[in-house]
Amino acid sequence: MEDIEKMAEACMKDIDDDEDDSLEDDEDLLDTKVSSVPGSIEHTLEERINLYRMAVTNAKAAGETSKARRYERGLKTLQTMLASVRKGGKIDETEIPPPVACGVSGSPSRPPVPAASPDQHGECDRAVEISPISAEAVSVVMDPASNTKDESSGVASPPTKDILLERQKEYRMAALKAKQAGDIDQAKMHIKATDSGSGPAQPQTVLEALEQRMAKYKETFTQAKASGDERKARMHDRIAKQYQAAIRAHKADRPINFDELPAPPGRFFCSQKEDLYMYIFLCTCPLPFKTLVPFLNQQLEFLEGRKKQYMKAALQAKQKNDLEQAKTLLRAAKSLDPMIEAARSGKTVDVSKVPSPPGDEDEDFILVHHSDVQISEKAEEVYTQLTNLLKEQYEKCVTYSKQFTHMGNVAETTKFENMAEQCKKSLEILKLAQNRGLQPPKHHFEERTYRTVRIFPELSSTDMVVFIVRGMNLPAPSGVATNDLDAYVKFDFPYPSTDQPQKHKTSVIKNTNNPEYNQSFKLNINRNHRGFRRVIQSKGLKLEVLHKGGFLRSDKPIGTALLKLEKLETESEVREIVELMDGRKATGGRLEVRVRLREPLGGQDHQTVTERWLVLEEPQPRL
């Protein structure tokens, strides 16, 4: 009876129910099924699957495991979609994972594309000419009413739209091949041909790109919520909030890690992490192409300019027979090569790691000294004043340049470096004129306004420095004369906790009630820790001033002070003269204290500065 029951169960078994899903997921079988119609969704999915398989293989061969995993996830999504389409189901085309760079010079088989120019190896891909995309074909996609409909089936006939989409893919592939062959103009031409107006408008700024992507995720969140897909809704809501944070950071001029921002699904978005080939390959880019390319060029020019500075300095050192200095400068120049190569390949570079310009000890001009030259005392005084002003301007420009370098802002770094270079040349011209016995050059002052960011690059993000500057009019405790006061300052900073505060104290300054301390103490912090932010916002820094007791005598309290630290949210330094209190009563004494962070907790410390700027007038002495 058991055998009979098993046979009956086997006969009743629905073969389709058990085997259909496993067959549809079999990678080997997916390739053996009937070929799809070019231009159809099925054909697009098949092409995309081939592309992703190649990308996975190449990523694994290159040891890029994170890329391989990402491509495998996309491959699995594509295979699921293809299985659904072959069963007669519908899919959302905007959810199709975008094309990816394969990571090799060759490319998989594609529909016929425009002829590409020969590459550097003399090879050329043979292809047929593609006629331009017509305006009528574009209108079919843009205007749903223009699509014809088969009355008998009730389904819109897709040939015109499919042809347009197929043609668009061909132009994209042609753009990629032209880029790989080094023909940038041809690649740009093909990209323009694909810009038919379909899909979201191409963003013109980084902010527009971020807002466009956030809107896409919010839309997907709303759709998922409405359909009851809580998991998908939570995921897209979380990503939308990531973009909100990135937009806030961008508006505050803080750096953004674009690698952490996912790219929305669909053919009109591509991954932030793809290389420059993908910017040419796709119609729209993770950052707008028109904005990104000037930035990359600017970054490359900055790096190449810095290398030239070091090469020039090395040559000057060699001419002076200072071979050790020449070697050091040459090594610094060579250290920029990897960064330059990365910039040339379209990757962003951490500008904060670029070495500062070489020192200004090298003279750009040859000074001629005349023993018989005499200059009036008034002229000497003018020369001294002009020299001091130009030196001050030069040092200011160098400081601002270093600050913007640490922030990775290439444009502002270059701007202040150029200003510093102009000040340096003016100093040299001034020295040359003085040595020739000429009257001081004509000069005038201009009012210049520029925006700076206050930052202390010598500090790390985990540093907070407390400066105890001085005490003023400190009251002496009973039994101690004012000129016998031996005062010191101590403080407890209640972080990481009130039970484990960071404690410090100054040295003792003897026999004065106006002690000058000028001592600094470095504290260890975590800028993002809630406990630290709570101390900054509500507790502040408590200080106590004491008189040092003698042998077998205890120290006597003089007073306490509280320095509020809320300003560190928007400023990189708090500098206050705080009242010294005895309980709730003011003692008349005061304490000057400064607290400094690398940069404010809430963003960058922007300052608009307007200054009188010394400018030497033409004509200048001939060199």
The single-letter DSSP state of residue 173 is: H
Element (H, E) at 543: strand 541-547
Alpha-carbon distance 405 to 413, whole Å?
Answer: 6
Q: Is the pLDDT of residue 300 over 50?
A: yes
Does the pLDDT of residue 105 top 50, yes or no?
no
Note the pLDDT of residue 150.
Answer: 42
pLDDT at position 52: 87
Q: What is the pLDDT of residue 181?
A: 72
Confidence of residue 293 (pLDDT cuts 50, 70, 90): low
pLDDT above 50 for 14: no
What integer pLDDT is reported at residue 206 of this predicted model?
75
Summarize the confidence of residues 330-348 as an average pLDDT: 83
In one-letter notation, the amino acid at residue 20 is: D
The residue with greater pLDDT, 248 or 557, is 557
Q: Is the pLDDT of residue 494 over 80?
A: yes
Q: Work out the percent of the chain whose per-residue pLDDT is above 70.
A: 69
Domain 463-604, architecture per CATH:
Sandwich (2.60)
Please report the beta strands in 10-158, taking only residues with DSSP state E, as ranges in sequence order: 149-150, 155-156
Kindly state the tokens that stand for 543: 């200080």
Integer CA distances (angstroms), 446 to 84, 111, 514, 614, in order: 71, 63, 42, 7
Greatest mean pLDDT range, 46-50, 59-63, 450-454, 518-522:
518-522
**Whole-angstrom distance, CA of residue 587 vs CA of residue 550:** 23
Integer angstrom CA distances of residue 455 from 91, 467, 571, 600, 619: 51, 17, 9, 8, 38
Nearest-angstrom CA–CA distance, 340 and 354: 11
Q: Is residue 604 very low, low, confident or very high in pLDDT (cuts 50, 70, 90)? A: confident
In terms of Cα–Cα distance, which of 15, 51, 36, 39 is closest to 82?
36
- Is 60 exceeded by the pLDDT of residue 123? no
Write out the E strands in 178-257: none
Q: Is the pLDDT of residue 527 over 80?
A: yes
Which pLDDT belongs to residue 519? 96
DSSP 480-531: --GGG--EEEEEEE--S-SSS-EEEEPPPB-S-SS-EEEEEEEEE--TT-HH
Structure token digits, residue 402 = 């270093």
Helix (H) or strand (E) holding 557: strand 556-563
Grade residue 487 by pLDDT with cuts at 50, 70 and 90. very high
- Residue 214, pLDDT above cutoff 70: yes
Peptide bond into 440 cis (omega under 30): no
Asked if the model's pLDDT at residue 535 lies above 60, the reply is yes
In single-letter form, the type of residue at position 87 comes to: K
Percent of the residues in the chain that have a pLDDT greater than 90, as a whole number: 20
Helices (runs of H) and strands (runs of E) counted in the chain: 17, 12
Q: What pTM, to 2 d.p., does this model score? A: 0.42
Give the mean pLDDT of the chain.
Answer: 75
Whether the CB-CB separation of 333 and 311 falls below 8 Å is answered with yes
619 cis-preceded (ω within 30 degrees of 0): yes
Res 502 pLDDT > 90: yes
Residue 366 has pLDDT above 50, yes or no: no
The confidence score (pLDDT) of residue 90 equals 80
Distance separating alpha carbons of residues 548 and 556, to the nearest angstrom: 7
Q: How many CB atoms lie within 10 A of CB 574?
A: 20
Statement: residue 281 has pLDDT above 60:
no
* Distance (Å, whole) CA 506 – CA 489: 5
Residue 492 pLDDT class (50, 70, 90 cuts): very high
